[in-house]
Amino acid sequence: MVGVEIVYGKNAGLVWRALNEKGKLGLRELSKHTKMSMLEVNGAIGWLARENKVKIVNSGSKVVYELTGH
């Protein structure tokens, strides 16, 4: 059995790399880019938010995510 920290940490790493490479991305874009389900991306965003590594940005009528400090 794989630990929760390993799964969420791995997914958070994939999302972090996508945001680092592409810049601001929405949930669907992150899901497509990382090939993860929306549920997995949401979990990864939560993990990164808890570590203050990602922020939520309102872009018009769309919510996008961006790494802090970028």
Rounded to whole angstroms, how far apart are CA atoms 21 and 6?
Answer: 22
Question: Can you give the CATH number for the domain in which 61 is found?
Answer: 1.10.10.10
**Percent with pLDDT over 90 in the chain:** 81
β-bridge partners, 59: 62
How far apart CA 38 and CA 28 sit, in angstroms, is: 7
Please say whether the beta carbons of 24 and 66 come within 8 A: yes
| pLDDT tens column, 19-46 | 999 999 999 999 999 999 999 999 999 9
Task: Provide the whole-model pTM.
Answer: 0.90
What is the extent of the structural domain holding 23?
A: 4-67
CB 63 within 8 A of CB 26: yes
Number of domains within the chain = 1
What φ, ψ does residue 46 adopt, rounded to 5°? -60, -40
